[in-house]
Structure 1
Amino acid sequence: MAADKEFLTYNQQMKKLREKKKIDCGNTKDKTTLVRMGYFNLVNGYKEPFICGKDTNGNHIYIANTSLEGLYALKKFDDGLRMLLLKYITQIEEEVRTLTGYKFDQCNDNGKTPWYDAKAYSEKSKLQNKMNAISSAYSELNRSRSEYVRFYMNNHETIPTWIMIKVVNFSTFIDVLSNSKTDVTHALCKLYDLKDDAGYYNVKLLIGSLHWLRKVRNSCAHNERVYCIKQIPDRNAKNSGRILEGYFRSLRSTYLKDKDKKIMDLLVYFKYYLTDKDFKDMMGELQKMLLKLQADVSTNAFDNVRGKMGIKNLNDLETLKNLPKTDISYHEFENY
């Protein structure tokens, strides 16, 4: 059994970093950083890209000239990335929920077939899957403390679709959407130009991309490290693998060889869901953040970070940013 970690003062922590890990630190600024961030959050949380091997005793060896300031630069980058991604994911989530609620009712005799009726969903979906989605939605509405939910519970016989869609968890919303009638999912695919190589509406891309947005959003919301987030394909889990769509095929061929979903996959999905202006604004901000990090850490450490994000080369971000995309015709959505 490993020995318990002994308590170390901040000065002792810095001495340990200098002598045992060969990480440069020691001035007042470094101590302030350590006090504010905490040893575990900063060193244990962000050391991996700075590691280049292990010694004969199994201890990590760090890239030459690694400093506490460099680790802090990576943490600041990750904090900024988290906020940037969360901003656009929540924007997309709110929009897709709103559009789904509208189209769901429109495709169900203008709302006359309610969302809690299995007939409101696709005939191709298993009854068990439809009932699971309805049951989860009911349960989450019942637990909701939102004022407008309680109002409808107390003063009306039913909860409207738009309230259900707005209130349920992101995962439950995706279940509702994936079991919805084909006209609902196809309308969203048409709006966002989500198509496969043959030009057919790509519902797999729609649902799979939303699941990845959900996973990254949850990591952002729980203040977890996000630059290195990935999802390894699970043979038993639907929509867990990468979806090699058109934009990836327009980048260098090495992207097609990766197996895990990473931040680069999220950026590609953003290309579909954001307007061209919003996407270019987001990418421009990300590129500035990456260039700042590149200037603040060693080349090897930066390349490790870039690799964990799934970015083969920074130039690929500029290529992705400028690839042509179909305008999102919101004004025509009700006719889809």
Structure 2
Amino acid sequence: MGKAFFTYEQQLYKLQSEKELTISDPSYALKTLEKLSYYSLIGGYKDLFKHPASKKYLRGVTFEELVAFYKFDEELRTLFLKYILHVERHIKSMLSYHFCEKYGENQSAYLDINNYNLKHKNKNDIYRLVRALNDTISLPTHYAYIKHHINTYSNVPLWVAMNALTFGQVSKMYQYSTSDIRTKISTNFNNISEKQLHQLIRIIASCRNVCAHGERLYSFHVKENIPNMP
């Protein structure tokens, strides 16, 4: 059976009586749970403050300390996301430039699977990528600039479509671009090979998702191998 529903008052009682969390201002705690939710605040940050065996809070730990740590992680996500967006913009700019430099501005270029590194093991992933790209530039769309290019020019150049792509899609597009395009892009970053840049893009894309969706950043673990760089 899953977790039972508790009212805010029951949640506070449980924290105080069963988990032995110090709550000096119940009114403040109640309003905070209403804004942040029990799961986001307590479920997200309890492990640092609890005794592993008893599952109760360490003596003297306060509700305010949990809130302070939540806000620290929130500010950390905001800071990371700010600079991740700078990197994302740079990657998108370089990828659209060098892809169009080689294949031209027609949308048929980036919708052609033959313009990617079409090895047998990549084929299904490239088909999925191209379908996602096609969906991005198809009507109906909530992107006004894409609708404008479809209606006015019957063509959405990659540098226009790029803004609507997720960083995950950009990561896949870089991964399956031909080696010469990846190399040209990587030369914009000092002492980073095209393979290392791909690893970094994947890591940054994962971190971006954590930041954008309000997940815990302080305990985020990178599954990718971080490349050794000078």
**Aligned 8 A contact 1:14 1:26 in 2:** no
Matched with 2:102 is 107
Matched with 1:36 is 35
How many residues align? The count is 226
For the aligned residues, what is the CA RMSD?
Answer: 2.7
Q: 1:134 aligns with which of 130, 138, 142?
A: 130
TM-score (norm 1): 0.59
Q: Secondary structure at the match of 1:84?
A: helix
- For residues 87-139 of structure 1, what are the alpha-carbon distances to aligned partners after superposition, in whole Å with 9 as ceiling and x for unaligned? 1111211121011111112233x547832334433466855544433222112
Residue 242 of structure 1 pairs with residue 220 of structure 2: no
Matched with 2:45 is 46
Partner Cα separation in structure 2 for residue 219 and residue 185 of structure 1? 26
**Aligned 8 A contact 1:98 1:166 in 2:** no
Percent identical across equivalent pairs?
23
Structure 1 position 24, deviation (Å): 0.9
**Comparing 33-42 and 15-24, the one that deviates more:** 33-42
CA distance 1:84–1:34, shift in 2 (3 Å): same
Structure 1 position 64, deviation (Å): 2.4
**Aligned 8 A contact 2:51 2:58 in 1:** yes
Structure 1 residue ranges, 4+ long, deviating more than 4 angstroms after superposition: 110-113, 123-129
Structure 1 position 39, deviation (Å): 2.8
**Aligned 8 A contact 1:144 1:167 in 2:** no
Partner Cα separation in structure 2 for residue 145 and residue 101 of structure 1? 21
**Aligned 8 A contact 1:130 1:179 in 2:** yes
Matched with 2:211 is 220
Matched with 2:70 is 75
Partner Cα separation in structure 2 for residue 220 and residue 156 of structure 1? 36
Q: 2:83 aligns with which of 66, 72, 88?
A: 88
Q: Return 5+ residue gaps in structure 1 as ranges.
A: 196-200, 233-240, 248-336
Counterpart residue identity of residue 242, structure 1: N
TM-score (norm 2): 0.83
CA distance 1:246–1:52, shift in 2 (3 Å): farther
Q: Secondary structure at the match of 1:159?
A: coil
Partner Cα separation in structure 2 for residue 3 and residue 147 of structure 1? 43
Structure 1 position 192, deviation (Å): 0.8
